[in-house]
Structure formats: C-alpha cells, structure tokens
Amino acid sequence: MNRLERWINIALINLTIVALLGLILRCKMSFSIPFINFKNLLHAHSHFAFGGWITLALLALITYRIIPVQYHKKPVYKWLFTGILINAYGMLISFPAQGYGLYAILFSTFFIFVLYGFAYVFIKDLFKSGITKPVKLLATGAVAYMTLSSAGPFTLAYLLATKSSDIILYKDAIYTYLHLQYNGFFTLAVFALLLHFLKSGNKSMIWFAHLLNASVIPSMFISYLWHYPGMIMQIIAIAGSILTILSVTWFFIMLLHIWPYFGILHPLAKKIALIALASFVIKMVFQALTIIPSLGALIFTNRPVIIGFLHLVLLGFITLYLLADFIQSGLLSGKKSTVFAIWVFIAGILLNEVTLFMQGFGFMLMMSSSFSNWLLLAAGACLFSGALLITISEWKYNSLLKPYDNRIKPFNHSLNHKNQ
C-alpha cells in the first residue's frame, strides 16, 4: 500500500465517523438523550468533518498527485499528515467532553499551526514543479485560502478571551472561516485535481482558474451583507457576485473543451462527478443570488437553508467529487458492494438536501412540520450506512482481493493513452 492509499483509507474511516456523529445529532433532535450535549457534539462533528475527512483527503491528493515524487516522498509530509490526524482526533475526543475547553482549544490551535507548516512546504515544492499554469494557480490559491481562513477561529478566540458580546464580529468571523474553507480551499483544491487529471492548460482553463481565484475574497463580502454594511462593502460584494457568475460562465466554456474526456471515465465515476459538478454550479448560482438584499436577508436568518447550503458543498460537491476520484484512480474498487454503498450514501445526500431546503422554505412561509426531523434522521441513517458499507467493503477488498487484481489502471492511464 503506497502513501496516498494509506491516507485515503484513513480518511474514509474518518468519513464514517463523521457520518456516525451526524446520525447521533439527528437522533438527539428526535429523541431525548440527556447524556449527550448537542452543541458540544456538533462542534466535534464539524471540526472532524473538516480536519479528519476533507482536509486530510484533499491535502493528501494534491500532495501525492500534483507534487513530483522527488518532493512528496520527503519525510516532512508524513509528519505533517500525522500531525493533522493527531489533532483531528484530539478535537474529536475533546469537543464532546468539554466543548470549547482547554484541550479542544489546544488541539484546534495545533491543527492550524500544522497547516501553516504544510502550506510553507507545499507551496515551496509546488513552485519547483513543472505543472500547468491553471493547476499551479488553483493549488496555490487553495492552500493560501486554507491558511487565511484561520483568521476566523483566532477572532473567535479573541472574543472568547475578552468575553465580548459583539454579535456582528462573532458571526462575521464564522462566515469568514466557512467562506474561505468552502469557496476557497475546498473548491480550488478540487479543481486543481480535476485540471491536473486533464493534463492540459488551454486558455479556457487558465481564465477559469484566474476568475475562480479572483472571486473568493470579493464574494466573501456577500456574507457580511446580513448586517447592512456601508457602501464600500456593498460595492465589493457586488463585484464578488459578478466574479462568481463569470466563474460559472467560464466553467461551462471550459466544460465544452473537456467534455470528450468524460467518455474515458469509469461509468460510475462519471455519474458521480457530474452530480458533484452540478452541485458546484448550484452552489455558485445560489451564492451569487444572495447579493439581492431581500433574498440575502431572508437566507442569512434561515438556519435550515444555511445548513442545507453547507451540506450541499461539503457532501454534494466536495465529498462526491472525492468518491468519483477514488473510483477512477482505483483507490475505491468497482465491486458491487461498494457501488451499492455509494448509491446509499448519495440517496442520503439527496434526502438531506431536499428536506433541509423544504424546511427552510417552510420557515419562510411560517409553516413547520415535525415530520422533517424524521426525514433528516433517515438521511443521516443512509449517510452513515453508506459510509460504513464503503469502508467495510474496501477493507475486505484491500485485504483479500486487491493484491491479485491487475484490472485497475493508474489514474491518468486512459487519458495519457488518448493523448498519445
């Protein structure tokens, strides 16, 4: 088992843990479970989803795929990923036990400093690598926004230390962190991987990479409109909305050029990747439309819609793209049990999104139903069952069948053959 396989296998186990925590949270909403602190478990769920699943998986992929082997085989990367994992598990254990207590804060802080170290080593090696311009732009931007996002947690730590009651700064710190993670780090890393897979740097890809990078900071100001800021902030937010729309437009232009390559993908990877990319488009359009004052004010006070949007990005876009990548590259097998598990997981995502947005629209219309909690519980059960079955299926495959299976091709085999 090579380095990348090892970290991805660990990340998949962590995805199962994330899904289990999500299911427990849904159970807490429907049943009386007095020994579970909902808020503390929610912190553990969100921190571990970011650190133990998405961050670990994305950083492992961009390191061992994009960085040449003479650089990524350096021991420093092994220690950095070990540091990420240790602190992610530290947050997983400490947050349910004490909430934002001493140990949870220490593990969260150490996690951020490990990411600083990763950013320094990775960018230094990236600029010594002969990769295409759009990939370099997107990978650099992803790691840079990952680093900048720490401004959010440090602001929250300041508010906590000073016992401040500044609700505007508190919410802006959360929105800043989430925006730079979701729309900066996660999104740019996914497209760095996609364009690296294509092994091309045509003009549409370069324009898309520039626009997507340029849209991140200005579009962050859309998240600040909930507290009716001044004219300058509104102008920046409008610019961010325009850049977001332009990014989507160039995505479709780029898609016209790369569409022939979808024909060489594994059939299941193709279907999942298209769902993921459709989620990306929905996410971008949704984000751009919140510039409309009446719509933005309604959405930023609507918790189900906000949670639905966050899950759309984290599950519908990022997680599904990662699963498609794993299938195409052979990190996940195409055996029937794995395919079934993936579709169970996707069913959970769809049910979760439909229920949350229906719940959100019910909130707007001043209508509510307790039935939605049962639907969310069913969605949580599907997500956990799917993730658990994927992990079990792949564990059996890796231990029993993979050493004798020569049918899986390297990630870029078909594409390189086509280009030849």
Is residue 409 over pLDDT 60?
Answer: no
Is residue 414 over pLDDT 50?
Answer: no
Is residue 378 over pLDDT 80?
Answer: yes
* Predicted structure pTM score: 0.90
Is residue 405 over pLDDT 60?
Answer: no
Q: What is the 3-state secondary structure (H, E, C) of the chain?
A: CCHHHHHHHHHHHHHHHHHHHHHHHHHHHHCCCCCCCHHHHHHHHHHHHHHHHHHHHHHHHHHHHHCCHHHHCCHHHHHHHHHHHHHHHHHHHHHHHHCCCHHHHHHHHHHHHHHHHHHHHHHHHHCCCCCCHHHHHHHHHHHHHHHHCCHHHHHHHHHHHCCCCCHHHHHHHHHHHHHHHHHHHHHHHHHHHHHHHHCCCCHHHHHHHHHHHHHHHHHHHHHHHHHCCCHHHHHHHHHHHHHHHHHHHHHHHHHHHHHHHHHHCCHHHHHHHHHHHHHHHHHHHHHHHCCCHHHHHHHCCCHHHHHHHHHHHHHHHHHHHHHHHHHHHCCCCCCHHHHHHHHHHHHHHHHHHHHHHHHHHHHHCCCCCCHHHHHHHHHHHHHHHHHHHHHHHHHHHHHHHHHHCCCCCCCCHHHHHHHC
Is residue 387 over pLDDT 80?
Answer: yes
The model's confidence at residue 26, banded by pLDDT at 50, 70 and 90, is: very high
Q: How much of the chain exceeds pLDDT 70, in percent?
A: 91
Is residue 413 over pLDDT 50?
Answer: no
Mean pLDDT throughout 303-323?
A: 92
Mean pLDDT throughout 350-357?
A: 91
Q: pLDDT digit string (tens) for 124-133?
A: 999 988 888 9
Q: pLDDT digit string (tens) for 243-274?
A: 999 999 999 999 988 888 888 888 999 999 99
The model's confidence at residue 108, banded by pLDDT at 50, 70 and 90, is: very high
Q: Provide the mean pLDDT of the chain.
A: 88
Q: pLDDT digit string (tens) for 177-194?
A: 999 999 999 999 999 999
The model's confidence at residue 75, banded by pLDDT at 50, 70 and 90, is: very high
The model's confidence at residue 404, banded by pLDDT at 50, 70 and 90, is: very low
Residue 406: what pLDDT?
40
Residue 226: what pLDDT?
78
Residue 368: what pLDDT?
60
